[in-house]
C-alpha cells in the first residue's frame, strides 16, 4: 500500500511560476511514489475572499486545467474540489469542539494575516478556524505526508495537535500525525523583487502568452550596482539570476560567468531568460490549449476525483461518528 499525500491550493487567481517552482513540480514528482490527493481548497479561499467571490468558480476550473497541464495525472492522483465533499465540514465541526481557542489565536499565520492584510476584513469567526478546516482536509484522508511551503508549517503542527487531542479524548487510534514535505526551492520573488503574488501584479502566469512573458521579464529589476554595460554584475543579488537558477539550471554557470565578466548586458540576459522560460513552459501551454477545447473532459476528471475522495472521506467519518457517538 502506498503512503497517502494530501495537498491543496486556494483558487484565488491564475497560477504562476511561483506555484510551479514552489508546489506543482513537486506534486508531479510525488505522484508515482505516493497515493496523492490534490484538492482545490475553495472553502479556504472563501474564508479570506468572501467579500468578492465573482471569479471563484472560474478560478477553480482554471487551476485544475493548470494542474493537468503541468502533469498531474488523473489516472494516478485524485483531483477534487473541497466544497463538493461535505465530510470536510463535518470533521471541521467536530474538531472545532475540541480545539482550544488559544492555539488558534496564537497561530503565527493567523496573527500575521490579521496584521498585514488591509484590504479585507479577516476578523471573522470563520477565518480563526482556517487551520481547523485544514486539519480536517488532511486527516479525513489520513494523509501521511503533506507537501507544503514553509509558511504552512504552523498549520501542520496544529493538525498533529488536533489529531492527538481527538485520539486521546476518544481513546481511539483513528488519525495519523502527518509530516510536511518541504519544497526545496527557495522562494521565488516577483518581477519587482517583492514576494510573488497576484495582489502585487508581479507574477508570470502559466497561461501568459509568449509576448507577455517577454515583456514582463524585460521589466524585471536587475543588480542595482550594475549601471553601465561595462560594470561587472553580481548575479547573487540579481533576481534574474535566481530565475535562471530555478527554471533553467543548465545555464546557471554560463550566466554567472557572463555577468561577473560584464560580457553581456542585462537586457540581453533577460531576453535570453525569456526565450528559455517560454521554451520551458510551451509544452504546458500546448496541453492547456488542448484541455481548454474540451472543458467537458476536465469536468469529468473532477467528478471522478470527487467520487473517489468522497468514498474515502465517508469511510473515515464512519469511524469518527462511532468514536464520538454521534
Ligand atoms: N492553507 C493552504 C495554503 O494556503 C491551502 C490548503 C488548504 C492546504 N487545505 C490544505 C494545503 C491541506 C495542504 C493541505 O497554501
Ligand atoms: Fe542580472 Fe543577468 Fe544583469 Fe547579471 S547580466 S545583473 S544576472 S540581468
Cβ atoms of 199 and 58 closer than 8 Å: no
Whether residue 138 has its Cβ less than 6 Å from ligand 2: no
CA of 240 to the centre of ligand 2 (A): 6
Q: What is the pLDDT of residues 211-240, one digit of tens each?
A: 999 999 999 999 999 988 899 999 999 999
Rounded to whole angstroms, the Cα distance separating 122 from 153 reads 21
Rounded to whole angstroms, the Cα distance separating 159 from 275 reads 43
Pocket lining for ligand 1, CB < 6 angstroms: 6-10, 41, 44, 134, 137-138, 146, 148, 152
Whether residue 226 has its Cβ less than 6 Å from ligand 2: yes
Please report the atom of ligand 1 found closest to the CA of residue 6: 14
Cβ atoms of 188 and 28 closer than 8 Å: no
R_g (Cα) of the chain, nearest Å:
22
**Which contacts (CB < 8 Å, 24+ apart) does range 309-313 have?**
309/37, 309/39, 309/78, 309/80, 309/85, 309/141, 310/80, 310/84, 310/85, 310/87, 312/140, 312/141, 313/85, 313/87, 313/88, 313/140, 313/141
Whether residue 264 has its Cβ less than 6 Å from ligand 2: yes
- Name the residue of 89, 132, 137 whose CB sits within 8 Å of the most ligand 1 atoms, as the mutation to test its pocket: 137
* Main-chain dihedrals φ then ψ at residue 174, nearest 5 degrees: -80, -45
CB neighbours (10 Å) of residue 201? Answer: 10
- What tens-digit pLDDT sequence spans the chain (326 residues)? 899 999 999 999 999 999 999 999 999 999 999 999 999 999 999 999 999 999 999 999 999 999 999 999 999 999 999 999 999 999 999 999 999 999 999 999 999 999 988 889 999 999 999 999 999 999 999 999 999 999 999 999 999 999 999 999 999 999 999 999 998 777 789 999 998 988 899 999 999 999 999 999 999 999 999 988 899 999 999 999 999 999 999 999 999 999 999 999 999 999 999 999 999 999 999 999 999 999 999 999 999 999 999 999 999 999 999 999 99
Q: What residue ranges define each of the domains in the chain, with the CATH number in brackets?
A: 4-188+296-324 (3.40.50.620), 208-289 (1.10.240.10)
Cα–Cα distances in Å, from 293 out to 15, 79, 286, 287, 289? 19, 20, 11, 10, 6
Whether residue 223 has its Cβ less than 6 Å from ligand 2: yes
Whether residue 217 has its Cβ less than 6 Å from ligand 2: no
Exposed / middle / buried, residue 146 (Cβ in 10 Å: 0-12, 13-18, 19+): buried
Q: Is 6 helix (H, G, I), strand (E, B) or coil?
A: strand
Q: What is the pLDDT of residues 126-185, one digit of tens each?
A: 999 999 999 999 999 999 999 999 999 999 999 999 999 999 999 999 999 999 999 877
Q: 279-294 burial, b for 16+ CB within 10 Å, e for fewer? A: eebeebbebbeebeee
**Nearest ligand atom owner, CA of 245:** 2
Cβ atoms of 291 and 297 closer than 8 Å: yes
Whether residue 273 has its Cβ less than 6 Å from ligand 2: no
CA of 104 to the centre of ligand 1 (A): 16
Q: Measuring from atom 8 of ligand 2, which residue has the nearest CA?
A: 266
Rounded to whole angstroms, the Cα distance separating 11 from 38 reads 12
CA nearest 82: which of 313, 315, 292, 318? 313
Q: Measuring from atom 4 of ligand 2, which residue has the nearest CA?
A: 259
CA nearest 79: which of 18, 47, 35, 144? 35
Cβ atoms of 183 and 193 closer than 8 Å: no
Whether residue 263 has its Cβ less than 6 Å from ligand 2: no
Q: Where in 155-211 does DSSP place strands (E)?
A: 179-182
Whether residue 244 has its Cβ less than 6 Å from ligand 2: no
Amino acid at each position: 500500500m502506498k503512503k497517502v499525500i494530501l495537498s491543496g491550493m486556494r483558487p484565488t487567481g491564475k497560477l504562476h511560476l511561483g506555484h510551479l517552482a514552489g508546489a506543482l513540480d513537486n506534486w508531479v514528482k510525488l505522484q508515482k511514489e505516493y497515493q496523492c490527493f490534490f484538492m482545490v481548497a475553495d472553502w479556504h479561499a472563501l474564508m479570506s475572499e468572501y467579500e468578492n467571490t465573482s471569479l471563484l468558480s472560474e478560478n477553480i476550473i482554471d487551476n485544475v486545467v493548470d494542474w493537468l497541464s503541468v502533469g498531474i495525472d488523473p489516472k494516478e492522483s485524485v483531483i477534487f474540489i473541497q466544497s463538493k465533499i461535505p465530510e470536510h465540514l463535518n470533521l471541521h465541526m467536530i474538531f472545532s469542539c475540541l480545539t482550544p481557542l488559544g492555539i488558534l489565536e496564537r497561530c503565527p499565520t493567523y496573527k500575521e494575516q490579521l496584521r498585514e492584510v488591509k484590504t479585507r476584513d479577516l476578523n471573522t469567526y470563520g477565518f480563526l478556524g482556517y487551520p481547523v478546516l485544514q486539519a480536517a482536509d488532511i486527516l479525513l484522508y489520513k494523509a501521511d505526508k503533506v507537501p507544503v511551503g514553509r509558511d504552512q508549517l504552523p498549520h501542520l503542527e496544529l493538525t498533529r495537535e488536533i489529531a492527538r487531542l481527538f485520539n486521546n479524548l476518544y481513546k481511539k487510534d483513528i488519525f495519523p500525525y502527518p509530516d510536511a514535505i518541504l519544497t526545496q526551492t527557495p522562494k521565488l520573488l516577483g518581477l519587482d523583487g517583492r514576494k510573488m503574488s497576484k495582489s502585487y501584479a508581479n507574477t508570470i502566469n502559466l497561461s501568459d502568452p509568449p509576448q507577455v512573458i517577454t515583456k514582463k521579464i524585460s521589466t524585471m529589476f536587475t543588480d542595482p550596482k550594475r549601471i553601465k554595460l561595462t560594470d561587472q554584475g553580481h548575479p547573487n543579488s540579481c533576481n534574474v539570476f535566481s530565475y535562471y537558477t530555478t527554471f533553467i539550471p543548465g545555464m546557471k554557470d554560463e550566466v554567472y560567468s557572463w555577468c561577473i565578466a560584464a560580457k553581456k548586458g542585462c537586457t540581453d540576459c533577460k531576453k535570453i531568460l525569456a526565450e528559455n522560460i517560454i521554451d520551458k513552459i510551451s509544452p504546458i501551454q500546448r496541453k492547456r490549449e488542448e484541455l481548454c477545447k474540451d472543458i467537458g473532459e476536465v469536468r469529468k476528471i473532477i467528478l471522478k476525483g470527487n467520487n473517489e475522495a468522497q468514498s474515502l472521506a465517508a469511510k473515515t467519518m464512519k469511524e469518527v461518528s462511532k468514536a464520538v457517538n454521534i
